[in-house]
Each structure stands twice: as C-alpha cells, then as structure tokens.
Amino acid sequence: MSGSGGATILHADLDAFYASVEQRDDPRLRGRPVIVGAGVVLACSYEAKAFGVRTAMSGSQALRRCPGAIVVDPRMPAYSEASKAVFEVFEDTTPLVEGLSIDEAFLDVGGLWKIRGTPVQIAQRLRAEVLSRVGLPITVGVARTKFLAKVASGVAKPDGLLEVPPDRELDFLHPLDVSRLWGVGEVTAEKLRSRGLTKVGDVAMMPEAALISILGRASGRHLHALAHNRDPRPIEVGRRRRSIGSQRALGRSPKSPATLDAVLAGLVDRVSRRMRGAGRSGRTVTLRLRFDDFSRATRSHTLPEATDQTRAILHTARTLLRTARPLIDAQGITMIGISVGNLQTEAAIQLALPFDKAANNELDSALDLVKDKFGTNAITRGVLLGKDQGIQMPMLPD
C-alpha cells in the first residue's frame, strides 16, 4: 500500500519537458541553452536554467540573463504526442498510474515484486524505456509516500533516480529547505524563514498549534503532517480534476479594462467548453491574478447552483474582475486566469425550477458543435476577432 510498508511509490517526472522535446527533435539544440516561448518563458533547458532562466520569466529578462540562449516557438502537438507515448510506458509498467500533468505521474509498483523485481529495478527499467521509446530523459523518485517520492525526484533532477528507504525518511527529509514541502511557495517560505524556520526539520520541531498560528489552520496542519512524512493518500487511478481552468500571460505593458475583459471572455469560453466536453459543472468561480512584482491574488465566488453555462460563469468572472480593479491599477497585471471548482458530473445535477429561458444552453451547444467540426478558431467573439488568444497548453483529459 502507498501509505505503509516499503518504498513502493514512484514519482516519474520528465526533465524540462518542452525544451527536452525540442532538443530531441533538433540535434543542433542538444547541450545548448534553449528557451521555449519568446514573450514569456514556457520552458527552458537545464543549460539555460544554469544562467538563472526560469519558467514564466519574460523573454527579455531571460535573454539578459542568458544572451546565448536559443529561443524556439512552442509546438504543442509535439508535446502532446510525446506525453501520450510516455504515459504508454507508465501504463505498461503498472496499472496503478495517477497522472498529475502531461509530464509527471505517480506509479504504485507494490504488487509487482515477483514479476518485475524491486521498485528500484522497476524504476531503472522505466527510465530506460522512456529514453529508448520516446527519446526523453526522466527522473524518478522512489519512496513510501507520494509526498516523499515527489521530493526525491526533485532532489534527483535532472535525469536521475533516488530511493528513500523507509528507515531513512526523516534523515533525508529534515535537512532540506522548507521550499521542498509540497504547497510551500515563495510567500509561505518567506513567512517561515522570517521566523527562523529554514529547513524541513525546523518545521517538524514546531508544535502543530504554532504552525497554525503562523499559516492558518489548513496550511499549518498540512505542513506539520508533511514535515513528519505523514501522507496516507493512495494512488488514484482515473482521478478526475477538482477544477478546470485556463490562464493567459499578458506581458508587462499596461492593459485597459476593455482589453482585460476581452481576455477574460476568451478564457471563460475556453474553460466552459472544456467543462461541457467533460460532462462537468461547477459552483465556485475563481479569478487568479499575477502582478508586476510577481505577487499574486485570487478572488472567488460560489454560485447557488452548479453550471457549465458560459454566460453564468462569465458574469461571475466579470464581477470578480471589477472588485480586483483597484489592485490591478495599483500594481499592474501580468497574468490573468480563471477556474471553476466544486465540480460534479452532469448526471448528479438537480435541475432547478423554473427553468431559465435565458440560460443560453442552446447557444453554447451550437458553438461547441461548430468548433468541434471546424476548429476552435472557426467562430469567436467580435472583441477577440483578429487578436492573439494565447497558447492553449496541452493537458491530461478533464
């Protein structure tokens, strides 16, 4: 089982995925600093990372740090195809696969001892298979829990393999920086460091009540458990998304309210179409913003009824954007995102009475049919006509 016994959980994570695909397909790029995406860095090779280039950095800033970098346009179909090939290797290894994104997954190999060998031997073969069949490097962490397997793969990158034996878990975990704890971003890490908590072991020494007073109840309890490697979660095969969303990088130039509204409408069109395609409806609409100083903010609203209607989601998203306008004016905006959570399947939805005659269900369905038959750009809003609507990232099924 994933929460007890031996180290039987693998976390397999492709290295610098988009950039690795580009280096695989163009031998001239191998061993050289590669940046995928011009305006905003979507991915970068480890050769570029050595110069301080990071994902989501502006292209101009990235080139200042690494003047010799080679910038290539993203090729989303190639990345989707590579991801499918890698997941075929995962599924050939074990039936217990939980995809996290198109380039990483958890695998439970606890029941394969007699037919495939030890978890480390299985991990070694998996890495060799991904390299031979797909031509990409992949790093694998092996541990008793999902959390620690993910940490192990992060430590082992790039192109590595690391096992954390059950009797060495805390010896491995506690010397690591607090940023290694799952869910600790820059803001939370700074809060912890400002109180002298720089290592995971420092967090483990804190009473749970003290962490709760610093970070709040949910985060405090979460980090206290992880710092002691308490993670009982099993591998979830076929796990469906808890939310469906999309986001758009905007660059650093000022954006008018009309421009932001048009971008928001395009994102809502994309998200609501994905929801209908997956047979999902949701209640909680969340707006995500990133500012010039790289700080972030979220605004959310929970609807009384679950919906997949574009109009209802867009109305809520626009209201959230209006409430955030003073913050946008003060800090500038570089990214906007929208997501819908509290998802449920259409079969579980209780229809409300009286039916909303202006719900636009027929319009949504008609637009979906046109886009399915003739392509996403076959029909669009007038405000988006002729405008770049951003890159649609490949992802696992909804």
Q: What is the DSSP string of 363-398?
A: HHHHHHHHHHHH-GGGS--GGGTTS-----------
As a whole number of angstroms, the distance between CA 328 and CA 34 comes to 33
Question: Of 8, 6, 4, 30, which Cα lies nearest the Cα of 19?
Answer: 30
Confidence label for 3 from pLDDT (cuts 50, 70 and 90): very low
Answer yes or no: is 13 a known binding residue: yes
Tokens of 233: 């979660």
- Apex 84 CA angle, 78 and 85, nearest 5: 90
According to the model, what pLDDT value does residue 1 have? 37
Query: What CATH superfamily is the domain 170-228?
Result: 5' to 3' exonuclease, C-terminal subdomain (1.10.150.20)
Per residue in 145-177, pLDDT tens? 999 999 999 999 999 999 999 999 999 999 999
As a whole number of angstroms, the distance between CA 238 and CA 32 comes to 38
pLDDT at 82 over 60: yes
For the beta carbon of residue 124, count every other beta carbon within 10 angstroms: 14
pLDDT at 388 over 70: no
Which amino acid, residue 293?
D
Q: What is the mean pLDDT of residues 223-238?
A: 90
As a whole number of angstroms, the distance between CA 246 and CA 370 comes to 21
Per residue in 170-208, pLDDT tens? 999 999 999 999 888 888 899 999 999 999 999 999 999
* Residues constituting the chain: 398
Question: Of 257, 247, 361, which Cα lies nearest the Cα of 310?
Answer: 361
pLDDT at 64 over 80: yes
According to the model, what pLDDT value does residue 295 have? 82
Question: What stretch(es) of the chain map to CATH 1.10.150.20?
Answer: 170-228
Which amino acid, residue 283?
R
According to the model, what pLDDT value does residue 348 have? 53
- List residues with catalytic annotation: 104
According to the model, what pLDDT value does residue 353 have? 47
Question: What stretch(es) of the chain map to CATH 3.30.1490.100?
Answer: 244-384
Higher pLDDT: 267 or 351? It is 267
CATH T-level fold of 244-384: Dna Ligase; domain 1 (3.30.1490)
Answer yes or no: is 269 a known binding residue: no
Reduced to 3 states, what is the DSSP secondary structure of residue 253?
coil
**pLDDT > 90 fraction of the chain, expressed in percent and rounded:** 62
Q: What share of the chain is helix, strand, coil (3-state, %, to 5)?
A: 45, 20, 35
As a whole number of angstroms, the distance between CA 35 and CA 313 comes to 35
As a whole number of angstroms, the distance between CA 151 and CA 294 comes to 25
- State the DSSP H helix or E strand holding residue 287, giving kind and residue range, or none if neither: strand 280-290
Per residue in 31-54, pLDDT tens? 999 999 877 898 999 999 999 999
